[in-house]
Amino acid sequence: MPDGAKIPQNLNMFAPMVLENTNDAILLIYHPAGAGEGRIVYVNAAFTTQTGYSCEEIVGKSPRDLIDDAVPAETVSQIQTAMDAGRPVRAEITNVTKDGKRIWLDANILPLSDPDGVVRHFISFRREITDWKTREAVLREARERYRTVMDACLDAFFLLAPETGADGDLDFRVVETNKHAVNALGLYDGALIRQESARLDRILVSPEMQSGFVSVARTGVPAEGLLSFPDGVWIRYHLLKIGQHVAAVTRDVSEARRSQQRIVEAEAWLRDAIESIDHGLVLYDPDDRLITCNQRFKDLHRQNIDALVPGTPYETIIRSAIAKGDWDIGDQSVEDWIANRLKQRQAKTDRSYVNETENGQVLRIDEKRTQNGGLVAVHADITAVKQREHLLREAKEQAEAANVSKSQFLATMSHELRTPLNAVIGFSEILKQGVFGEVTGKNLEYVDDIHNAGRHLLALINDVLDMAKIEAGKYVLEDEAIDISELINECIRQLSPQAEEGQLFIQYAPDPQLVPVRADRRAMKQILLNLLSNAVKFTPVGGAIQIGAQAGAGELEIVIRDTGVGIAPEHIDRILKPFEQAENSNNRTHEGTGLGLSITHHLTELHGGSLRIGSPESGGTVVTVTLPAERLLSDSARASA
């Protein structure tokens, strides 16, 4: 022990009673002015319990030996400076116990004067506050998470404390806000809503919000409402009393309201479109419950009209139809037939079939799955068609009758679908041209939508009919001499608007040695347009499309290369089939029926050629159309073609 380091005489008389029986750990430190770090001369029993060190292990050491390295240097310096000056000091520090555990301490260090009035000793009371500091850290972390969540919220949140103004009316002081409330509403902590209304957003000073604040503060009953403003802004608010405060949450729902209005308008247009269809149309949700059907569908199933209520399960509808003679189940039992039908619908596949009712009505039913797993079905009354088929079967062989009925069916479908579509397209063009008066604004947009949708649907119908002709062997080529370069340039010009819209670069360098070919001009143009339109459709903005055509090894090769998304090798065979696409129905990003490549494939084969599709590792898609040597025209053949 250093010279002079001893327990002062005036402490000896009460040390055993105070020092040894207190719950606080106590150290007695010899630290006269200029003595440097000082030395510990005494510790009580509570200290040994707190730290695990015995008195013998501690006495004689510097107090700094007990201070954890994690204690900030500023805190250590503050303690040292106070003791050097003989002043009391209090600080929160951490110590490491003998077994290596870090504990938090509230250290209160007081100077003790000797009889001569000189401060040579300090007594340090150390109370462990580890549990309190742990709870404080948890609370601080929870508060930080709360602030992070609140500031990330896109709603404006603020907490108000009611105050009675000089006029006796309630005003509300802002006590807490999130970032959105600050940015969107101009709020800040301490603001008085009514007193500072001129500086705050119109939402806060609206009569509805003001009365809502007062009502919730006085009654405690939550309130909510919807504010609208002349400029089209809609704000939804919720008010809730929390303790003595009023919590408010506001959300700008303007876009949602506009979207809802667009949905209502779209539903009206959809309803008009559905009702304009000549066939019965019915839509079921993914749970096979009726969503809607048009009047033609109700007319076709008038015997079962009572069951055609939105929300009714398909099984309920079909049971009612069987009971009322609106559905023919043949010789099967009702339960077996229904079980088989439900199994077919659960397969989630597209299908077509014919149903005959007890009164002789025959319906062709085409069912197609929607992207969300629902089902849309078209019920066409083909009673007359079936009657004609029956008459033909009596006069001709079965095979011939089947071919004739199919041709009649296609002709009927073509007329019934194309005629109204041509009318829609024609009248929409007349409206766009302003023949009956100028059409502007939203009306012009709607007319454009009708015209584009009509042309799109007509193109789809043409594809379907072309596919039907090809599969039936009815597509006849009308060969003539064709300048392939000229035809390619014609197709490029036709697709230029779409390419320019997508900022695509189309490059075609014609081969001067290219000779004309003998082919069906319409079919070849359809092949080129299908392939080029696919390249334009699936190539991202700023991409490039290269076209090459050359005669080599006695064949004509037309190669179309793009920098688009490419096609996975396992999808190539599938996309050449009718109605198939690389994207499935749940993640499609581009329109189309999946007929283009199938038609292109068949038309190429009708010319005796082949179609190859590949995606190189560098990206994009390469499509090669090859026509055989006999399709190339020599000079003499060209003159006679």
Whole-angstrom Cα distance, residue 238 to residue 247?
Answer: 8
Whole-angstrom Cα distance, residue 527 to residue 374?
Answer: 34
89 confidence band (pLDDT: 50, 70, 90): very high
As to burial, measured by CB atoms within 10 angstroms (0-12 exposed, 13-18 middle, 19+ buried), residue 156 is buried
Is residue 611 a contact partner of residue 622, using CB atoms and an 8 Å limit? no
Q: Which residue has the higher pLDDT, 36 or 74?
A: 74
In the numeric block, which tokens belong to residue 460? 């789809």
Could you please report the per-residue DSSP string of 335-404? HHHHHHHHHHHHTT--EEEEEE-TTS-EEEEEEEE-TTS-EEEEEEE-HHHHHHHHHHHHHS-HHHHHHH
pLDDT tens by residue, 383-434: 888 788 778 877 676 655 555 455 456 546 655 766 776 777 777 778 777 7
241 confidence band (pLDDT: 50, 70, 90): very high
Say which residues have a Cβ less than 8 Å from residue 357's Cβ, sequence separation at least 6. Answer: 303, 325, 326, 327, 328, 363
What average pLDDT does range 188-208 have in this prediction? 66
pLDDT tens by residue, 491-549: 888 888 888 888 989 898 878 888 899 999 988 888 888 888 888 888 999 899 999 88
Q: Which of 252-266, 527-541, 578-592 has the lowest mean pLDDT?
A: 578-592
Q: What percent of the chain has pLDDT over 70?
A: 82
Say which residues have a Cβ less than 8 Å from residue 202's Cβ, sequence separation at least 6. Answer: 229
CA separation, residue 228 to residues 203, 207, 209 (Å) = 9, 12, 12
636 confidence band (pLDDT: 50, 70, 90): very low
**Using DSSP, how many helices (H) and how many strands (E) does the chain show?**
21, 22
pLDDT tens by residue, 376-387: 888 888 888 878
To 10 degrees, what angle do helices 383-395 and 398-433 make? 150
CA atoms within 13 A on the CB side of 182: 11
Say which residues have a Cβ less than 8 Å from residue 421's Cβ, sequence separation at least 6. Answer: 454, 457, 458, 461
289 confidence band (pLDDT: 50, 70, 90): very high
Give the per-residue pLDDT at 208. 85
What average pLDDT does range 85-97 have in this prediction? 91
Is residue 46 a contact partner of residue 143, using CB atoms and an 8 Å limit? no
Give the per-residue pLDDT at 125. 92
Query: pLDDT at residue 477 above 70?
Result: yes
Furthest CA-CA distance within the chain: 141
Give the per-residue pLDDT at 40. 92
107 confidence band (pLDDT: 50, 70, 90): very high
Whole-angstrom Cα distance, residue 240 to residue 497?
Answer: 56
Whole-angstrom Cα distance, residue 508 to residue 490?
Answer: 12
Q: Which of 256, 258, 236 has its CA nearest to residue 248? A: 236
In this structure, the strands spanning 25-30 and 119-128 are antiparallel
Whole-angstrom Cα distance, residue 529 to residue 383?
Answer: 39
276 confidence band (pLDDT: 50, 70, 90): confident
Give the per-residue pLDDT at 481. 92
pLDDT tens by residue, 603-634: 888 888 888 888 887 788 888 888 998 888 86
Is residue 547 a contact partner of residue 507, using CB atoms and an 8 Å limit? yes
CA separation, residue 565 to residues 406, 568, 583, 596, 618 (Å) = 39, 9, 11, 18, 11
Compute CA 366 distance to the chain's CA centroid, rounded to the nearest angstrom: 32
CA separation, residue 110 to residues 20, 61, 120, 315 (Å) = 18, 19, 11, 88
Whole-angstrom Cα distance, residue 259 to residue 253?
Answer: 10
Phi, psi angles (nearest 5°) of residue 184: -90, -35
Taking all residues of the chain, what is their mean pLDDT, rounded to a whole number? 81
CA separation, residue 397 to residues 383, 402, 541 (Å) = 21, 9, 57
20 confidence band (pLDDT: 50, 70, 90): confident
Query: pLDDT at residue 591 above 70?
Result: no
pTM here is 0.36
Query: pLDDT at residue 3 above 60?
Result: no
* Residues pairing with 227 in the sheet: 235
4 confidence band (pLDDT: 50, 70, 90): low
Whole-angstrom Cα distance, residue 578 to residue 597?
Answer: 8
